[in-house]
């Protein structure tokens, strides 16, 4: 028993020594001696000052690290911009650093308005055709939203001299005069709709068209001074897309959850507003994701939930109850576009449409539904807005990646 007891005593001594070594004042991890404490007490807080200085130095290094990360992210974005090798990519507009909410092109195709998740809007001025203008610097004006709200939707007026904006929080109408200098000209007191406004069109006629989402199925018409001119309720459970005749705002069509597209006449041939009246219904078997009207009033294209594409002849005598004629039906076979909710006619004719879904878009012929050009992975996140230039030469996309990009539309054969 003597040997084991000696071993136990030796082990105890080793552990005791280790404990003293670990928790002695020299290591700085255990309790302090009274003398050491007094020395610190008489030092006027030098140790605390050193600790505070170290913390400040650490915070400073973190700030430097954040700046470094932001610089690297900006550099990476610039590299990504340069690596877009699509033959129809024209370039990107500079100066926006927040996710894009809405983009619009003026009726003369010479101005581009951009709204992002900040109070400042930007109106870019092209000097000539977009393809040539994007080779040089693009000047822009800054407009500041009233109050603390930021813009959700925007569009130009028909003469390109003003900008109509829907505020995100209050859902009110805000108008800007684009003179020199630009200035706020109107701010409505009340919300435009019961729900959030999802579409605003001000550039097709001498009035504004708005449409909400959710259970609010009303389409409303406003003057440029915010006066309510008329209302039309589609009563189709939920509106999915709004289309307005691109040249004169004569007709308005709404794609909705339930079958059929309601098409109303709201604009006279002069472009002036008149009371909305039912023009015709475009019959479909099920709900419709998107609809677009041609500039010459001769065609309407419907993209249905089940992937079918219906082409209708709309230049009929609807005044005497002549129904629109379905002239063709196709199937959207590409997975990237079966659920597309955005579709626009390109140019003044009725030959081609631009279809958009997610990060992708494609230009197709109405006759035969043949793909002319594809635009894949246009942004690093989903597109949040798309606008086609009225002259039919380019379109603009804005994404959650804070990028505004221009794309050329190839000329029709």
* Residue 156 · residue 107 · CB < 8 Å: yes
The neighbour count for residue 371, using CB atoms within 10 Å, is 13
Task: Classify 26 as helix, strand or coil.
Answer: coil
The predicted model gives 56-67 an average pLDDT of 52
H and E: helices and strands count for the chain = 4, 28
Mean pLDDT, the chain, rounded, equals 82
User: Domain boundaries in the chain?
Assistant: 77-191+377-407
Q: How many CA atoms lie within 13 A of 174 on its CB side?
A: 26
Instruction: List the alpha helices (DSSP H) in 84-141.
Output: 130-133
Contact 113, 141 (CB under 8 A): no
Residue 220's pLDDT is 96
CA 356 – CA 349 distance, rounded (Å): 19
- CA 411 and chain centroid, separation: 27
pLDDT at residue 28 greater than cutoff 60: no
Q: Quick: pLDDT tens for 316-373.
A: 999 898 999 999 999 998 888 888 889 999 987 779 999 999 999 999 999 999 999 9
Ranking 80-84, 124-128, 300-304, 356-360 by mean pLDDT, the lowest is 80-84
* CB neighbour list of residue 220: distance below 8 Å, 6 or more residues apart: 192, 193, 209, 210, 211, 228, 230, 231
pLDDT over 70 at 296, yes or no = yes
Phi and psi angles of residue 42, each rounded to the nearest 5 degrees, phi first: -90, -5
Mind spelling out the 3-state secondary structure of 5-17?
A: HHHHHHHHHHHHH
Please indicate whether residue 188 or residue 55 has the higher confidence score (pLDDT). Answer: 188
Nearest to 396 by CA among 130, 99, 147, 80: 130
Q: Which of 176-190, 237-251, 260-274, 300-314 has the lowest mean pLDDT?
A: 260-274
Residue partners of 282: CB distance under 8 A and separation at least 6? 253, 260, 261, 263, 291, 300, 302, 310, 312, 314, 324
Stronger pLDDT, 268 or 320, i.e. the higher one: 320
What are the structure tokens assigned to 67, written together? 């700046």
Q: What is the pLDDT of residue 268?
A: 63
Task: For the chain, give the percent of residues with pLDDT over 90.
Answer: 61
Q: How far apart are alpha carbons 309 and 289 in whole angstroms?
A: 10
The number of beta carbons lying within 10 Å of the beta carbon of residue 206 is 18
- Of the segments 46-60, 261-275, 289-303, which one has the largest average pLDDT value? 289-303
Confidence of residue 82 (pLDDT cuts 50, 70, 90): low
Contact indicator for 280, 332 with CB cutoff of 8 Å: no
Q: How high is the pLDDT of residue 291?
A: 95
Higher model confidence: residue 19 or residue 81?
81
Tokens of 119: 């109070």
* pLDDT score of 9: 35
Distance, CA of 299 to CA of 359 (rounded, Å): 27
Find where tokens 């379109």 sit.
395
Lowest mean per-residue pLDDT among 13-27, 108-122, 269-283, 388-402: 13-27
Lowest mean pLDDT among 13-22, 128-137, 368-377: 13-22
The secondary structure element, H or E, covering residue 3 is helix 2-23
- Whole-number pLDDT of residue 5: 39
- Whether 50 shows a pLDDT value over 60: the answer reads no
pLDDT higher at 165 or 30: 165
């Amino acid at each position: 028993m003597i040997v084991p007891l000696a071993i136990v005593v030796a082990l105890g001594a080793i552990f005791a020594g280790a404990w003293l070594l670990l928790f002695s004042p020299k290591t700085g991890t255990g309790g302090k001696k009274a003398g050491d404490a007094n020395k610190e007490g008489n030092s006027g807080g030098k140790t605390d000052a050193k600790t505070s200085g170290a913390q400040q130095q650490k915070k400073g290094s973190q700030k430097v690290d954040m700046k470094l990360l932001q610089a690297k992210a900006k550099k990476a974005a610039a590299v990504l911009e340069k690596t877009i090798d699509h033959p129809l990519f024209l370039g990107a507009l500079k100066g926006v650093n927040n996710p894009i909410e809405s983009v619009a092109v003026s009726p003369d195709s010479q101005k581009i308005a951009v709204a992002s998740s900040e109070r400042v809007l930007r109106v870019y001025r092209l000097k000539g055709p977009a393809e040539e203008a994007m080779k040089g610097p693009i000047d822009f004006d800054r407009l500041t939203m009233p109050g603390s709200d930021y813009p959700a939707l925007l569009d130009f007026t028909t003469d390109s001299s003003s900008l109509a904006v829907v505020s995100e929080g209050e859902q009110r109408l805000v108008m800007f005069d684009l003179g020199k200098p630009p200035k706020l000209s109107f701010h409505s007191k009340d919300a435009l709709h019961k729900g959030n406004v999802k579409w605003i069109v001000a550039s097709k006629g001498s009035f504004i068209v708005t449409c909400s989402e959710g259970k609010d199925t009303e389409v409303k018409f406003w003057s440029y001074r915010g006066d309510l001119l008329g209302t039309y309720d589609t009563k189709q459970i939920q509106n999915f897309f709004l289309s307005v005749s691109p040249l004169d705002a004569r007709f308005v069509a709404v794609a909705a959850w339930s079958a059929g597209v309601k098409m109303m006449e709201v604009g006279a041939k002069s472009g002036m507003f008149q009371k909305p009246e039912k023009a015709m219904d475009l019959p479909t078997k099920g709900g419709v994701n998107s609809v677009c009207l041609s500039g010459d009033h001769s065609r309407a294209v419907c993209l249905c939930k089940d992937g079918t594409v219906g082409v209708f002849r709309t230049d009929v005598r609807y005044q005497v109850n002549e129904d629109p004629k379905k002239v063709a039906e196709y199937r959207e076979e590409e997975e990237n576009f079966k659920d597309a909710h955005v579709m626009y006619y390109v140019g003044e004719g009725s030959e081609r449409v631009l279809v958009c879904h997610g990060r992708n878009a494609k230009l197709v012929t109405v006759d035969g539904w043949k793909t002319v050009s594809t635009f894949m992975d246009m942004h690093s996140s989903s597109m949040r807005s798309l606008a086609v230039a009225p002259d039919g030469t380019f379109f603009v996309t804005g994404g959650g990646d804070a990028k505004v990009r221009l794309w050329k539309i190839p000329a029709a054969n």
